[in-house]
């Protein structure tokens, strides 16, 4: 399954899930591996970092143009069709697609070379406090497309004179050498919008429409609407794209975040896409379990630390009214990491693909960048500024932020709409939580963050699942529960703070490379409120209790 709803009735789309032929570079053996999946689930590749080759025979029923969409390949893909290279893509966490024109009916070969190695070629996937898996880890779709087809449809809701309106941008591509006259029809509920346009290679059609009687999307009432767009040539429907949207606005005013004009309090979890046996190739049922558990703990938000997430998870957040802070792919990069010659382009591509593909999710309230990167340096500031500007050029409807740990040295707080900081009072530093909080907020106000909303984007402590100790020493479940309680009670009763994200929802695997194994028992980040099998630790009921007491619904 690619999405939680049908995205085409006219365009023919097939999912290439299933068993693919596989061979690992340097190993003289043929395998059959499932797609989507991580190769680490196979006993021969549990810690393998290298290059693998996936192959699949695909039968094309009629002559025509095909479009291949890969939702995620970890971390670099080189795609070949009948032996010809047709695409290259870096980053496990963003989708990419490629069109092959004039394919004859019959059997063809699709080959994907996948690389999860570290080195200068990879500025974002590096040894880190999460794992970079290998494989075709998210779904793959094969589509038959007309010579004119819809590339994407972006829906921007807004209020005007107390009524819901929306701007609908339909981007159309043409494979023809000559202009093609195209009819465009978009339908949402009882509203039909249509026009004719002549398309040369690429054209964008814009509808502005008032929608009477629609219901807003909110955490409590996540109302969603299908937006169905159809292209016609000579009156004949030739392509379509179905999106699912919500009417909501998110704004920042003074020190608050407003959803549909009312202040909202954000309380949730940082969540890695990582499950014990799936790795990052999480199944829908495990995604549903995660959302159900977060809701059971009275959370209303999730931060996609530290990369764009699978669209099926975002669809779930849309349906369940879970607020999302989605961020580009970066964690803890020092200035020298940011000076990797590939860094800026790889970040730019990630932001472009994240916003292009995830724009319509009403649950995404905030775009984030560059978690704990070199925000204390002038060179780092230049890159933060550039990335904020790139986001604003693509989307003015959402606020931006970045989670910092450059306490008292960050020189970028004037750039984002929301100031967010990662705090581990009581864990990494034994200090009075309230005093440390005062120091932080005082510094924020005097360093460019004055009169901005403040989010505590990370707070937490580690506990190894099942380790109980009456001494309540660090690493025991008791101490984790105590520290979570103590931190939440300070932050959630401070009206200068409008949100908290616990680090982290579930334990996740970390790389053995780098220094992480030394401070990460089991080669896992053990700060989960549940472990990697989603078994709750003592802190589960603590979070459930506190999130029910503070922060509203």
* Residues of this chain that bind ligand ADA (CB under 6 A): 129, 305, 331-332, 371-372, 405, 422, 458, 503, 525, 527
Q: Report, in Å, the least distance between residue 307 CB and ligand ADA.
A: 11
Is 388 or 503 the residue whose CB approaches ligand ADA more closely?
Answer: 503
* Residues 227/168, Cβ–Cβ less than 8 Å: yes
Residue spans of alpha helices (H) in 9-66: none
Q: Report, in Å, the least distance between residue 33 CB and ligand ADA.
A: 29
* Residues 207/227, Cβ–Cβ less than 8 Å: no
Q: Report, in Å, the least distance between residue 386 CB and ligand ADA.
A: 21
Q: Report, in Å, the least distance between residue 294 CB and ligand ADA.
A: 18
* Residues 20/32, Cβ–Cβ less than 8 Å: yes
Angle at 456 between CA 371 and CA 518, to 5 degrees: 55
The H or E element spanning position 267 is: strand 266-270
Rounded Cα distance between 329 and 142, Å, is 26
Is 14 or 118 the residue whose CB approaches ligand ADA more closely?
Answer: 118
Q: Which residue is nearest to ligand ADA (CB)?
A: 129
Rounded Cα distance between 477 and 408, Å, is 31
* Residues 400/433, Cβ–Cβ less than 8 Å: no
Rounded Cα distance between 338 and 374, Å, is 8
Is 114 or 305 the residue whose CB approaches ligand ADA more closely?
Answer: 305
Q: Report, in Å, the least distance between residue 291 CB and ligand ADA.
A: 21
Rounded Cα distance between 307 and 92, Å, is 9
Q: Report, in Å, the least distance between residue 458 CB and ligand ADA.
A: 5
Q: Report, in Å, the least distance between residue 141 CB and ligand ADA.
A: 31
Is 216 or 456 the residue whose CB approaches ligand ADA more closely?
Answer: 456
Rg, Å, the chain Cα set? 24
Q: Report, in Å, the least distance between residue 43 CB and ligand ADA.
A: 29
Residue with tokens 């701007």: 167
Is 312 or 331 the residue whose CB approaches ligand ADA more closely?
Answer: 331
Q: How many CB atoms lie within 10 A of CB 49?
A: 17
Q: Report, in Å, the least distance between residue 332 CB and ligand ADA.
A: 6
Is 9 or 408 the residue whose CB approaches ligand ADA more closely?
Answer: 408
Nearest to 12 by CA among 216, 223, 238: 238
Rounded Cα distance between 542 and 444, Å, is 29
Is 183 or 332 the residue whose CB approaches ligand ADA more closely?
Answer: 332
* Residues 90/117, Cβ–Cβ less than 8 Å: no
The strand pairing partners of 19, in sequence order, are 34
Angle, to 10 degrees, between the axis of helix 378-394 and the axis of helix 343-358? 30
Is 6 or 513 the residue whose CB approaches ligand ADA more closely?
Answer: 513
* 296 prior amide bond cis, ω within 30: no
* Residues 68/98, Cβ–Cβ less than 8 Å: yes
Angle at 306 between CA 389 and CA 23, to 5 degrees: 115
Q: Report, in Å, the least distance between residue 526 CB and ligand ADA.
A: 9
Is 415 or 423 the residue whose CB approaches ligand ADA more closely?
Answer: 423
Is 145 or 266 the residue whose CB approaches ligand ADA more closely?
Answer: 266
């Amino acid at each position: 399954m690619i999405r939680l709803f049908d995205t085409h009735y006219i365009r023919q789309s097939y999912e290439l899930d299933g068993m693919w032929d596989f061979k690992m570079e340097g190993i003289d053996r043929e395998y059959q591996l499932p797609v989507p999946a991580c190769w680490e689930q196979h006993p021969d590749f549990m810690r393998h970092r290298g290059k693998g080759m996936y192959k699949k025979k695909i039968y094309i029923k009629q002559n025509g143009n095909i479009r291949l969409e890969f939702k995620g390949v970890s971390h670099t893909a080189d795609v070949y069709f009948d032996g010809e290279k047709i695409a290259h893509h870096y980053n496990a966490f963003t989708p990419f697609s490629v069109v092959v024109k004039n394919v004859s009916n019959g059997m063809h070969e699709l080959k994907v070379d996948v690389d999860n190695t570290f080195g200068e070629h990879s500025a974002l996937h590096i040894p880190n406090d999460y794992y970079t898996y290998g494989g075709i880890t998210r779904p793959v779709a094969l589509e038959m497309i007309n010579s004119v087809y819809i590339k994407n449809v972006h829906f921007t809701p807004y209020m005007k004179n107390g009524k819901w309106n929306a701007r609908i941008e339909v981007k159309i591509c043409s494979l023809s050498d000559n202009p093609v006259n195209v009819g465009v029809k978009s339908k949402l509920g009882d509203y039909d919008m249509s026009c004719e346009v002549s398309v040369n290679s690429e054209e964008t059609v814009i509808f502005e429409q008032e929608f009477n009687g629609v219901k807003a999307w909110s955490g409590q009432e996540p109302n969603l609407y299908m937006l169905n767009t159809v292209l016609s040539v000579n009156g004949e429907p030739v392509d379509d794209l179905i999106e699912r949207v919500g009417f909501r606005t998110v704004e920042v005013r003074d020190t608050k975040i407003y959803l549909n004009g009312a202040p909202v309090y954000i309380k949730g979890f940082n969540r890695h896409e990582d499950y014990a046996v799936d790795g990052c190739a999480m199944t829908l049922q495990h995604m549903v379990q995660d959302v159900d558990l977060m809701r059971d703990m009275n959370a209303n938000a999730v931060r996609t630390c530290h990369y764009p997430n699978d669209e099926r998870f975002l669809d779930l957040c849309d349906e369940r009214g879970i607020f999302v802070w989605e961020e580009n792919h970066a964690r803890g990069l020092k200035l020298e990491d940011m000076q990797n010659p590939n860094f800026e382009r790889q970040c730019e591509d990630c932001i472009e693909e994240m916003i292009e593909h995830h724009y319509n999710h009403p649950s995404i309230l905030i775009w984030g960048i560059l978690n704990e990167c070199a925000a204390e340096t002038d060179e780092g500031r230049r890159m933060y500024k550039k990335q904020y500007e790139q986001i604003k050029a693509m989307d003015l409807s959402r606020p931006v932020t970045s989670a910092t740990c450059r306490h008292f040295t960050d020189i970028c707080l004037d750039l984002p709409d929301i100031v967010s900081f990662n705090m581990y009072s009581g864990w990494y530093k034994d200090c009075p939580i309230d005093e440390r909080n005062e120091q932080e907020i005082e510094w924020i106000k005097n360093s460019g963050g004055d009169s901005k909303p403040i989010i505590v984007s990370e707070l937490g402590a580690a506990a190894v699942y099942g380790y109980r100790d009456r001494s309540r020493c660090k690493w025991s479940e008791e101490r984790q529960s105590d520290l979570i309680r103590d931190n939440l009670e300070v932050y959630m009763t401070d009206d200068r703070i409008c949100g908290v994200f616990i680090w982290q929802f579930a334990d996740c695997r970390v790389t053995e490379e780098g220094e992480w194994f030394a401070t990460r028992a089991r080669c896992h980040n053990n700060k989960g409120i549940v472990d990697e099998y989603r078994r709750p630790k003592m802190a589960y009921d603590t979070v459930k209790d506190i999130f029910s007491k503070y922060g509203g619904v």
